[in-house]
Every structure is written in structure tokens, then in C-alpha cells.
Structure 1
Amino acid sequence: MTADTNLIIEEGPDRVVWRLNRPEARNAIDREMVRALHQACAAVEEEPRVVLLTGEGPAFAAGADIAQLRERRRDDALQGINSRIFDRIHRLPMPTVALVDGYALGGGAELAYACDFRIGTPHTKIGNPETDLGILAAAGAAWRLADLVGEPLAKEILLAGRVLSADEAQAVRLLNEVVEPDDLLAAGHRLADRITARAPLATRLTKAVFHAPRDAHPFVDELAQAVLFETADKHDRMTAFLNRRKQS
């Protein structure tokens, strides 16, 4: 395990756990946490693994650090401080799982939206109150949320400040699962077990093809399949499948 001031990292051979570590501030995302997340991304870009992302204490992430945010000006906004790290997380080669207990608001919600999966607890509250602070959700929610929950609900969250409960978020599949807080990390590992049991390169390329621009299909699908057709993993897994069928 390695620890940054604002991020605790637990390394594994096929997965890594990132713990946002500002519990005294409900894990509000500040510049130091963004820096630590960039470093963590670099490590899993070099050695692709599933990422489980959670928060220390009673919240996932209650948003951006408002004290820092209040002092930011035009040039800070144009740097995309949060949007660039969330986009980097979204583009990581292997799937990412947000484990959301308590509040995931503003930037915390956008961080969860950037992940491939989200597992919550009965205490989960997720939404985007940015317009109440005189700003907008500029780190992905304004365009990513509609893809996740549909335009009408996305507008209610973004424009009218609706905060979803765990049950509401699960009903629209924004949360893939809801478990008790004591089972949250284990639930993440169970999902990671299902992912890592599959062919790693096939998983990576499936995620890449899924997020490819629409006009890249079907060429990108065929190209990825051509790569996989040449792998030993494909041959071995199909041979094992055929042998099991013969024995059944």
C-alpha cells in the first residue's frame, strides 16, 4: 500500500484500490488530490488493471473544494483542472468501479459518472448542485449524465438541483448495485473478480471499441477483432470451451 496525503493506493496484481483521503472535508477534490489522481492514472496506464475508487470516511466525495473553487478565475476554468483528470479516468484501459457511500455531489458525482460502474449503499446521495453556487457542472456532467440516465432526468439534476437517493439512482441504473456499507469494498472486488476472469486484452479492446466515435464503426470493431483472433488467449479459451462441451 502506498499513501499520498490525499490518496491511498492499495496495489494488487490485477486491480488497484484508490481511496480519496480527505475525510475531514468529505473528500472534497482539491488540486493536491487531482495531482495524486494523475499519478495514479499514469501507473495503471503503464500496467493496466481494474480500478476500485472509494472514499475514506462517511462520503465518497462531496464535490470540489469550494474554498479553492471560489478563488478560481477564467484561466483556471480553461485549464480544465477537474475535467481533464475525470476524462483521463474515463479513458483508463481497464474498467473502473466507483464505490459510492454517502455524498457524491458536484465534482464528486462527476468523478463517479466518469467510471464504468458505480456501486452504492443505502446512504448514497448523488447529484449536481453547481448552479446553486453560480457555476455549472463543467467536468463532464453537462454532457455525460444524459447518456447515463436520459435527458429529462439529467436536466432535472443539472437545472433543478435534484439529488438522487440510492434507490432512485439504482432504478435508473446510475448505480449498478446497492449494498450495505460494510459490504461495499467486497462488492467492488466481486465485480472486479468477474471482470478479471475474462481475457484481459479482450476486455481492454471491448472498452475501447465501446467508447469509439460512432463514425469509427464498424472498422474499429473489425480491427480490434483481428488483433484478438491472433492471440493465444483466444485459441486457448475456445479450445477449453470446446473440450468442456465434449465432456458434458
Structure 2
Amino acid sequence: MPSSLRLTDGPDRLLVELHRPEVRNAIDRRMVDDLHAVCDGLERAPRTLILTGAEGVFASGADIAELRERRRDDALAGINSTLFARIAKLPMPVIAALDGYALGGGAELAFAADFRLATPRLKIGNPETGLGILPAAGATWRLKELVGEPLALEILLAGRILSAEEALAARLVTAIHAPEDLLQAAHELADRIGRQDPLAVRITKSVFHAPRDAHPVIDQLAQAVLFESDAKFERMQRFLDRKKDS
């Protein structure tokens, strides 16, 4: 049985394409398992992750035919929420390159990313209440952190679907690119990340997501680690040498 993903490896990044075009890349249990395998690799060998979808669609949502058959124990198992939490906690940044539909579980997967880039064709939102369920894989709490409570409630309770321009205005996405330029833009962002010190990026991401009451102690401890790193001395010396020569 073929994988639901297409992978393109790079030295400092991994491009993952959700690939179930016959159902607009709907997220089923096989895709969840395949993405867990991706996380296994990225936790062992941290790299930036770029997520995108096949044939002009990110992910139209969870696979409704499969979702229709799920029961209480499936919900309690947190099939999607466990995966999306794992993606959010990956050591290096996650970039979601969003084209077409990013709905339901597809939107929640995008919310778990650190960066979201869009095309003008993007439609993003959570129509779950129209199907008699709720978005239980992160939208009920991540979305209000991303766009604020009033807009989050309109999306979650009234089924509002945002256009690309609306998502940009709400700062849910950081930029809009033509469809043919979307992956290039994602790679350019990965290039900028790649020019930073990898350990500093990893630690900064962890500190950024730490609970509010963990600061400032966690910042000081993290900085203490970085102050002793070889990269800190080498990068600062290069900066001083360039300044001296300018």
C-alpha cells in the first residue's frame, strides 16, 4: 500500500507533501501513522520541516468516511491531537505552505506549525460543528492564541471560513504568494532559518513555547547553555572581525 506522503530530503530540511489527491489530501489514520514516522526521524535528527499538500490543496480535513465510524474510545485516544502536539514540539521550526483548502483537521495541522504561508486560493477554517462534532485537535485553544477570541469564536461556532486575505489580516498567515511561488517562498524561509545557529534556534523555540510562569528563569538557563557553546564564540568572533575590517 503506497505511503500517504511524498518526502524530499535535504541536509537541513525535510519537505513533506500530503499525498491523497483523490480525497483532497484528507487526513486518515494511515497519514497520521506516516506523519508519526516523520516525527520519529526529525526528533532523532532535527531539521526544519516544510509541510505542503498535493495538487493545489493542503488538506481538506479529516477523512469523513473514516471519521463517521469513530466512537468514544477513538476520541479519547486523541488520534489527531497527539500527532499535532508532537509536530508542534519538533525541535526545529515547522513551515506550513498552504494552498487551496486547509479545513478541519487540515487547519489544525496548519495551526500546529510555527509559520504559515498561503496562496490567494487559501480557504482555512473549522466547520466541525456543522458535522456534529468539535475541532478537538488543537483549534479550540490554538486558534484564539493565533487570531484572538472574537474571530476564533466566529470560526469555531459559526463556521466562518477565512480567505487568504482575511487570514493575512488576522496574522494567521505571514505572507501570500502565487501558487507557483509557494514552495520557493517556504524554502527561502527555511534558508533564513538555516543561516542561524541550529542550537540557538532549537533552544529559542523551546523557550518561546514555555509556560509564562517559567520565565525569566528558563530564559536565563537557556542563555547559560548557549553562552558556553562553540558556535557562540565562533559567530561573535566573525561578527567582530567583519566590523573591524569594514
TM-score when normalising by structure 1: 0.98
Q: Secondary structure at the match of 1:184?
A: helix
* SS of corresponding position for 1:240: helix
Indicate conservation of the 8 Å contact 1:23/1:58, yes or no.
no
Aligned position for 2:139: 141
2:211 alignment counterpart = 213
Structure 2, unaligned stretches of length 5 or more? none
Partner of 1:187: 185
| 8 Å contact kept, 1:148–1:174 | yes
CA distance in 1, matches of 2:180, 2:92: 25
Structure 2 residue matching 1:57: 3-state secondary structure: helix
Partner in structure 1 of residue 165 of structure 2: 167
Of 44, 47, 57, the residue aligned with 1:46 is 44
Amino acid in the other structure paired with 1:193: D
Q: Distance in 1 between matches of 2:153 and 2:243?
A: 50
- CA separation in 2, counterparts of 1:75 and 1:148? 30
* Residue aligned with 2:55, SS: coil
In the alignment, residue 39 of structure 1 is paired with which amino acid? Answer: A
Q: Which moved more, 1:115-124 or 1:212-221?
A: 212-221
Judge conservation of contact 1:90–1:116 (CA < 8 Å) in 2.
Answer: yes
The Cα of 1:4 is off from its aligned counterpart by 5.2
Q: How does 1:79-90 map to 2 (within 5 A)?
A: 79-90=77-88
- The alignment-based identity, stated in percent, is 64
Structure 2 length as normaliser, TM-score?
0.99
**Contact 1:28/1:65 (8 A) holds in 2:** yes
Tell me, in whole angstroms, the C-alpha distance in 2 between the residues paired with 1:121 and 1:161.
21
Deviation (angstroms), 1:58 = 2.4
Q: Distance in 2 between matches of 1:74 and 1:180?
A: 42
Amino acid at match of 2:218: V
What do the CA deviations read for 1:191-218 (whole angstroms, capped 9, x no partner)? Answer: 0000010000000000000001111111
Q: 1:219 Cα deviation (Å)? A: 1.3
1:223 to 197, 221, 224: 221
Q: Does 1:246 align with 2:244?
A: yes
Q: CA shift at 1:72, angstroms?
A: 0.5
Cα distance in 2 for residues equivalent to 1:166 and 1:205: 31
Q: In 2, distance between residues paired with 1:25 and 1:199?
A: 40
Read off the aligned partner of 1:170 and give its amino acid letter.
L
Give the aligned residue type for 1:49: R
**Amino acid aligned to 1:219:** V
The corresponding residue for 1:121 is 119
Distance in 1 of aligned mates of 2:76 and 2:54: 30
Q: How far off is 1:172 after superposition? A: 1.3
| Partners of 1:210 and 1:115 in 2: CA distance | 14
Q: Give the distance between the partners of 2:163 and 2:112, measured in 1 at CA.
A: 19
1:94-128 Cα shifts (integer Å, max 9, x gaps): 00000000000000000000000000000000000
3-state SS, counterpart of residue 204 of structure 2 = helix
Give 3-state SS (helix, strand or coil) of 2:56's partner.
coil
Structure 2 CA distance for aligned equivalents of residues 245 and 167 of structure 1: 41
Partner of 1:100: 98
Shift of 1:156: 0.5
Q: Who is 2:153 aligned against?
A: 155
Which of 3, 20, 45 matches 1:22? 20
